[in-house]
Amino acid sequence: MDESLNTEAADAYLNEMGITSPLQPKENSSNGNSVADYDKVPDPEDEGDDVEAFAKFMRSTKAPPRDVETANSPDGLVGAQLFQDVGCAICHVTTMTTMHTGTTINGGQFKIPEALADKTFHPFSDFLLHNLGTGDGIVQNGGPSSRNKIRTAPLWGLRTRTRLMHDGASVTITDALLRHAGEAAYVIDNYRALTTAQKNQLLTFLKSL
């Protein structure tokens, strides 16, 4: 698990902040163009200490608990069903279960330990890359075709956030919803077709996360 988090931290440093490290020593391009003329700092830019500190920070965090009272309110329960009906849960997957002990992933490089196996959790994410029409040209861990894609943000802890979407440019849940386009366009069409009362019920559910 530690190595997995270190790798994730290094990936974030490179793909979100443009900082190379021993685990990710090669600089990204800018839409296929080298950045060597603008970045004169020798690689790796971080010797690994910052990446390790970030991994330690991630180990110390966890998703906050649900607001159970709001979730179980009449509007919250209807909103949960609307979340499914509209299509939000296609990408913001409600429930996942980890693989069995000993299952190998990443081409056999990592074996699922007992501590992580067969655990059911509720991330409200598929953790996959999608084109929502808000991409910023930063190549993700998926090759050049991923440059305008973003990873589905887990919605657990949504009610605690003041900035939403991958760029933090949305300040309300409704604003974030309406920015979804591309692959999510038909889902937002479904959302727009809801009545005002139904939209408020969906918001009640989302504010329970």
Q: Could you tell me the two tokens for 197?
A: 């009362």
The predicted pLDDT at position 174 comes to: 97
Verdict on whether the full-model pTM lies above 0.95: no
The predicted pLDDT at position 1 comes to: 41
The predicted pLDDT at position 201 comes to: 98
**Which residues, 6+ apart, have CB-to-CB distance to 10 below 8 Å?**
21, 22, 23, 24, 51
Domain match, 134 and 158 both:
yes
Domain match, 72 and 45 both:
no
Domain match, 78 and 29 both:
no
Domain match, 50 and 132 both:
no
Helix boundaries (H) for 60-124:
68-71, 74-86
What's the Rg (C-alpha) of the chain?
19
Residue 82 is assigned to a structural domain of this protein: yes
Domain that holds residue 46: 2-59
Residue 30, strand partner residues: 33
**Which residues, 6+ apart, have CB-to-CB distance to 112 below 8 Å?**
98, 99, 100, 101, 102, 103, 104, 105
Domain match, 34 and 87 both:
no
The predicted pLDDT at position 41 comes to: 85
Domain match, 26 and 72 both:
no
pLDDT (tens, 9 = 90+) of the chain, 209 residues, equals 445 788 889 988 988 888 899 999 888 887 888 878 888 888 888 888 999 999 889 888 888 889 999 999 999 999 999 999 999 999 999 999 999 999 998 888 889 989 889 999 999 999 999 999 887 777 777 778 888 898 999 999 999 999 999 889 999 999 999 999 999 999 999 999 999 999 999 999 999 99
**Which residues, 6+ apart, have CB-to-CB distance to 204 below 8 Å?**
70, 73, 75, 76, 79
Domain count, the chain: 2
Residue 105 is assigned to a structural domain of this protein: no
Domain match, 76 and 150 both:
yes
| Contact between 185 and 100 (Cβ < 8 Å) | no
